Copies of this chain bind each other. A is one copy, B any other.
Amino acid sequence: MYVAVLAGGSGTRLWPRSRGETPKHLLNLVRPDVTMLQETVGRMLPIVAPEDVYVVTNARHAEAVREQLPQVPPENVLAEPVGRNSGPAVGYAAAHVHKRDPQGVMLVLPADHVILKEEDFRAVAQTGARTAEYGNLVTLGITPTSPDTGYGYMETGEVIMTVDGRPVRAVLRFTEKPDLETATRYVESGQYVWNSGMFMWQASTILEEMRQYMPGLFAALTALEPVLRTSEEAVEIERLWPGLEDRSIDYGVLERSRKVVTLPVDIGWSDVGDWATLAEFCPRDEHGNALLGDAMAFGCRDSLVYSSGRLITAIGLEDMIVVDTGDAVLVCPKSRAQEVRKVVDRLKAEQRRNHL
């Protein structure tokens, strides 16, 4: 089994901690001593050799990724000169795996998710690998715990096979971030799972599907193939990538292919996309407060107070978020954690590069 970690996201809604130079996956958000990327790779190392781990990231972060993952061979950190969404990133990793082992199964993992049940996850990955060997595009589907409107949903169909005693279901339809009413209906029906962004397939299978559904990308990967693992690779990527379409693997392949199945899993997963979600994964006191760093709370409940060094004092807060970094402070109710995006948009509009 190979692992392809996609480390191209930014984590906009986790501003002011996530920044252009230090995107979410490079941060120690959930555990003080380990970054999201290190957790993502580290939890696979009991069953995957470090030289079988690939990380696709933007060239500007490649050095930081290599520093954070000293056990992974530096040439396995694949640097994209420009980000073109997950389609090209998956393609780039698939080309590398394919050159070594065409039938090799890749586990595609976003670099910045939480998985609490690590043992269960590794077992699921083994099952997923066996499922992928039948030529399937395997999506890991999360049983929804709430009508979250921040996730993509997959409508599941009948059980088409059973692997290791686990049912593998057909996927009938993808729905991106539905409204609350729709999401509630989905969850109540019991027929939907969240799209975790974690996938498994053979390199040959996904490349074959790209040939059909993302021909531009497939052509670029074909041009790239002869120079992979040579000194020409960086030059060729530099030449090819700017011309690629910006397209997710979901939209580019999964929503069209007939080979998509889902393995419903229960692994304590979250994409921890915003501060309110992150707060659920932080250690909390008896009043539900997550107090990180030099934070003092007086009569607060269910709030997250994060200090990166200075003293933060909070009085009488309920369901609030206070995040302090060296140069910026965010104060926001948990219910509005999605709107951190607006702050970042405003900073971009005002060209405040120091804060981006």
A320 proximity list for chain B (CB < 8 A): 331
Contact B343 A327 (CB under 8 A): no
Q: Give chain B nearest CB distance to A297 CB in angstroms.
A: 10
18 contacts between A and B (CB under 8 A): A16-B311, A298-B342, A298-B346, A299-B336, A305-B331, A310-B327, A311-B328, A311-B329, A311-B352, A312-B328, A313-B328, A313-B329, A313-B330, A315-B331, A316-B333, A317-B333, A320-B331, A331-B331
Q: Give chain B nearest CB distance to A326 CB in angstroms.
A: 8
Contact A315 B298 (CB under 8 A): no
A343 partner, pick from B296, B326, B331, B355, beta carbons under 8 A: B296
Q: Which residue of B lies closest to A317 (CB)?
A: B331
Inter-chain pairs besides A313-B332, A324-B329, 16 sampled, C-beta below 8 Å: A296-B346, A298-B343, A305-B331, A310-B326, A311-B327, A311-B352, A311-B355, A312-B331, A313-B329, A314-B330, A315-B330, A315-B336, A315-B339, A315-B343, A317-B331, A331-B331
A340 CA to B315 CA, complexed, in Å: 8
Q: Which residue of B lies closest to A339 (CB)?
A: B315
Which residues of A are in contact with B by a Cβ distance under 8 Å?
16, 296, 298-299, 305, 307, 310-317, 320, 322, 324, 326-333, 335-336, 339-340, 342-343, 346, 352, 355
A329 CA to B322 CA, complexed, in Å: 10
A314 CA to B346 CA, complexed, in Å: 13
Contact B316 A332 (CB under 8 A): yes
A324 CA to B311 CA, complexed, in Å: 10
A314 partner, pick from B299, B313, B332, B355, beta carbons under 8 A: B332
Q: Give chain B nearest CB distance to A307 CB in angstroms.
A: 8
A17 CA to B43 CA, complexed, in Å: 46
Q: Give chain B nearest CB distance to A294 CB in angstroms.
A: 9
A317 proximity list for chain B (CB < 8 A): 331-333
9 pairs of A and B residues whose beta carbons are closest in the complex: A315-B332, A316-B336, A311-B328, A312-B329, A313-B343, A314-B331, A315-B339, A316-B333, A313-B330
A336 proximity list for chain B (CB < 8 A): 299, 315-316
A313 proximity list for chain B (CB < 8 A): 16, 328-332, 343
Q: Which residue of B lies closest to A336 (CB)?
A: B316
A298 partner, pick from B299, B305, B314, B339, beta carbons under 8 A: B339
A342 proximity list for chain B (CB < 8 A): 298, 315
Q: Which residue of B lies closest to A332 (CB)?
A: B315
Q: Which residue of B lies closest to A343 (CB)?
A: B313
Contact A331 B322 (CB under 8 A): yes
A342 CA to B313 CA, complexed, in Å: 10
A307 CA to B324 CA, complexed, in Å: 13
Contact B346 A329 (CB under 8 A): no
A355 CA to B305 CA, complexed, in Å: 18
A310 proximity list for chain B (CB < 8 A): 326-329
A315 proximity list for chain B (CB < 8 A): 330-333, 336, 339-340, 342-343
Knowing A311-B355, A355-B311, the reply to whether A299 touches B339 (Cβ < 8 A) is yes
